[in-house]
Structure 1
Amino acid sequence: MAIDKFELEELFETFIENFYESDLREAATKGKESIPIDFSKLAKFNPAAAEQLLDKPRGTIDALETAMIHRMRNWINGLSAKQLAQVKHIGKYNLGKLIGISNINARLLNIPDSQKVQIKSISKEHIGKLIIMEGNVIKQSKAWLEPICSKFECPSCGSEMLLMQAGNGLKKPSECACGHKSCFKQLKTIFIDVQELILQDLSHDAKKKGAQICVIVRNDLAGAEMSRDTAEGKRIRVCGIVEEEKRISKHSHKIPNLIVNANNIEPI
């Protein structure tokens, strides 16, 4: 039986408090965007939660990252003004508090070999699952900016609204609580770095074109420092979630295409 969202968040808060409190504080102090989470520790702490992370990774990782930001908020709220001055990106974490999303990413390590899949074997049965795969980077795109949330002001009553963003287009509010429906002023938008990698199966025959898959990397995985490890010709191990993306063919038909949204990348 699946653990519900609220129970998961409470469970993960205890897990973070027991094993990663110092890492979380260091991330806040140094402005890091992620901390590594050892799956084997979680499996010992709560086997059911660990199993759910493998089978339903999207919601489970969201709960883990929400727990991380809760722990960070609790720590930040207890700091003195002098201590607060030493915490980097405090504004970003406050925005995370307002919109209810995580600004710290959980990068998973030591995922069991049972999740390892060759690129050529990835199929629809893996959609929504957490997998590990290894391959050669044969193409690395330039990074681009993707909006994740925006703050708008109503011209009628002055109320501020926060709106989650998805994809490249900027969504605007449809209506304010006061009833106003147009010309909302955009106050601020937070963007993240996004990059696309094309990964080729390590096991392919040198005389043939090996199986390939598109890997989407975000946040610190798409940063300049990480880009050196994911440059063309590099061999990497990817931990990520298989998802289906619809692409448009030259005849304007939507064609299903499998991609992997990376949670973590390690050089091999």
Structure 2
Amino acid sequence: MVAERSEIMITRRQASREPVRVRGKRVMTYLRRYRRLQLNLRHQHRVLPTSRSRAADPANRTHFLINFPGSPNSIDGLTDWLPVLHRLNQHAPVAILVGDVAAYQAVCAATQLPCYFGRAATEAEYVAQQMQTKVMLYVNQSKLNLREGGFHDMFHVFLGAPGAARSRWLNNRVRLYDYVLAPDDESKVWLGSRLMGFDAESRVRVVGRPRTSDGPLDQIGSALRGSDVVSGGVDHEAVVAELLRIRDERDRVVADRDRRLAEQGIVLLKGGQA
């Protein structure tokens, strides 16, 4: 009886402490978000005009623009792709659009690729259109919104990282992308089986190297934290070749559209607006 009472008391103490821990964690999350908002509001007036000015300069044009609105806490998702982006930049202009001041500073310190700043979708659209972007790339598909999906004159491509991160890039917004680059055939089949009506055969391109491990995909991915995607099995040459093909396809689609409209006496302004 005494032992049972002791167990009941311990359980009650644990139950009473748990909500406090949960509330404390929630408060800390809100405080971090508030500090990030303060930082952005305090410093964006210095970064944004410079970014807009460089984007409007006719000398600055890009074929590929990486749209990364994430926070510094998720910046590994972008830096893991830098070796691939650097290789792509040898063949076509590549730039990065960042939506957080601290993340912008960290990205500028991590790469020589040109970086631009834009917190809201309207700012991202301005940079993308001014620079005459052909293909917009994403590494965090949960950030893609309908306005960005409607940017004119450009294709949208999601870069799927290898390993366990796959579970975080599945939702119906994947339908907004023109193409998804998957690290392996398993990911392609996985997407096609989970998104009803999604044509994975034509919209998912596999850009990974043949797997040499016999372990499950999630186990392989768990060892990739802090390493780049090339180490995780992505073939950087395959990614570059596929993205260049997608860019060329975009050019053909835009040229065909403009020719058809010209026959009707319609000429589009920059960005695809009539």
Of Structure 1 and Structure 2, which has the larger fraction of its residues in strand?
Answer: 1
TM-score range, shorter chain: under 0.3
The TM-score, its normalising length taken from structure 2, stands at 0.23
